[in-house]
Amino acid sequence: MNNSGFNFVGTIGYDNPDSLCPVPDYFVPSSSFYKNDTIDLILHDENFRNNSVTKLSGSIQIPTEVYDEWGLIDENPEKWANFEKLHVYLEQTFPLFHKNLKKEKIYSGLIYTWEGSDSNLKPLLLMAHQDVVPVQIETIKDWTHEPFSGYYDGEFVWGRGTSDCKNLLIALMETIEELIKVDFAPKRTIILSFGADEESAGRSAFLLAKKLEERYGQNSMYAIIDEGTGFTESNGKIFAMPAVAEKGYLDAVISLTTPGGHSSIPPDHTSIGIVSELIQLAESNPFAPLLTNVNPILGFLQCVAEHCPSIDKSLKKNILKAHLDIDANQKVIEYLEKKSLASKYLITTSQAVDVIQGGAKSNALPEHVSVLINYRIAVESTYLEVAENVTGHLKQVADKYNLGIVREGEELLKPSGNGYFNFTYNDPLEAAPITPTNDKAWEVLSGTLRHFYEKMVYPTRFENDDYLIVAPAMSTGNTDTKSYWKLSDNIYRFTPESWKEYDSHAHSVDEKIDFESHLQIIAFFYEYILNVDGIKDEVNVVI
């Protein structure tokens, strides 16, 4: 393998480049700024831990909740006041960071730039979001500790945003400050982008990405890392699972308008009954599962099959043939469908009837009924394919009841005296471009993860020839990265936390984070930034 342009300790490459899931060599910074003592300090020093707890806890104590109906800050500045408080807190808490990085504010979103000395190197973009999911007032009594207390019990920090995702935001700022303290000056520009409404509309991330694209151009970033998946244990092996894809999205909003009248003389089927029939038709015809080479889940399964000796032999055989053999592929699909709903919807477009509205009062026929069906679209499909599926169901019902259909302003069937359906697409989003897992950017990320977790965090866990397996994953939901697709081919949704088993209760009562996880995020990015700073872009090609 050609290693020209690399500056690192040890070798880079794969143990078996011809396998379906090769294991990367360790990737270790050669920089003089990298010392095991620094990583040990971050992970194990009591004073560092206590100071870090204070920083994260303080950010949790500033409620940065966002709601779906909010506009931008210039429309409702009073609603965004807590974000201004958070910005002041960050400046006070991270003085070295703010002294050395350029800060830009777009409404409540933040961009920080640490200018590198080599403009020929593509910047590294690291992301998090400032906002948190609202705490429902009626649930406050159910919290073990106040939801915005940032309480630390010696093991966990409690409160809304501790795991989604002020932990990541604060950890990234801590990482940068630790690098500044040792006089590190990056060759590669480092950009941090912190949106302000990821949990609602995502407008903030869109504006931040737009600014970066205007400044740097398309495909201008070396890589992008945002919140995402973490680790899992399968068949006795530990897997790091950076998400390299996200499913698509569509809210299908369907309304039915019919004549009104007195309930004492009703038609055989009111508009509510007709829409109910449409819903029943959709739910009775779910989308078929599909597992192709495009789907990262096949890549994950191939890693399980190649590296887990305890896996069922028949399942292993089918997984390793699934990309070539139809029968084997179908057996793997059946396995995933039976395993869990979560597994099923990694290979299937999901549909969920989330909202239905209609009727005004007793004794009056409903004249207007609407339903919202949410679709999370498989990576092999498109939102237009899903819309065609919905249209097919509409036509069946419309033909039965002599109704018209208007789709996105286009008349498909002429409205009749019986009424008509109106079908609109809300927030359509295609599935994300698939990040490659056979290039140098993936190799560097994977090799860093292996070295960091095997040698620095859990050295006793990986004795006796055991090793961390880095496998591709996929997000069924969407992150702020949906606005950044044009900036890089290498987008990873991954949070390098501890794989300690506990329920973080993200978005729910008693949200918390194991503080070992927080420290590991800081230390991992310390190592990863140094690794990325020591390579040249021209070797980042598909191999």
Three-class secondary structure of residue 409 per DSSP: coil
Is 199 marked as binding a ligand? yes
Rg from Cα positions in the chain: 26
d(CA 299, CA 293): 8
* Beta-strand relationship, 350-358 and 368-377: antiparallel
Is 533 marked as binding a ligand? no
Nearest of 24, 16, 1 to residue 541 by alpha carbon: 1
Nearest of 194, 162, 144, 163 to residue 62 by alpha carbon: 162
Q: What is the set of active-site residues?
A: 131, 198
The answer to whether 474 and 342 are in contact (CB under 8 A) is no
Q: What is the rounded (10 degree) CA torsion for 263, 267, 269, 274? A: -90
Is 129 marked as binding a ligand? yes
The answer to whether 365 and 262 are in contact (CB under 8 A) is yes
d(CA 430, CA 439): 24
d(CA 469, CA 451): 11
Tokens of 479: 């992150």
The answer to whether 371 and 353 are in contact (CB under 8 A) is yes
Per DSSP, helices labelled H in 340-375 are: 341-344
Number of residues that this document lists for the chain: 543
Nearest of 509, 502, 503, 504 to residue 146 by alpha carbon: 509
Tokens of 535: 């390579």
Q: In which order are the strands placed within the sheet that holds 420-429? A: 350-358, 368-377, 248-257, 420-429, 404-407, 410-413
Three-class secondary structure of residue 168 per DSSP: helix
Torsion-angle region of residue 261: left (phi > 0), alpha (psi -120 to 50) or beta? Answer: left
CB atoms within 10 A of CB 255: 19
Torsion-angle region of residue 356: left (phi > 0), alpha (psi -120 to 50) or beta? Answer: beta
Q: Annotated binding residues for Zn(2+), as ranges? A: 129, 164, 199, 226, 507
Q: Annotated binding residues, as ranges? A: 129, 164, 199, 226, 507
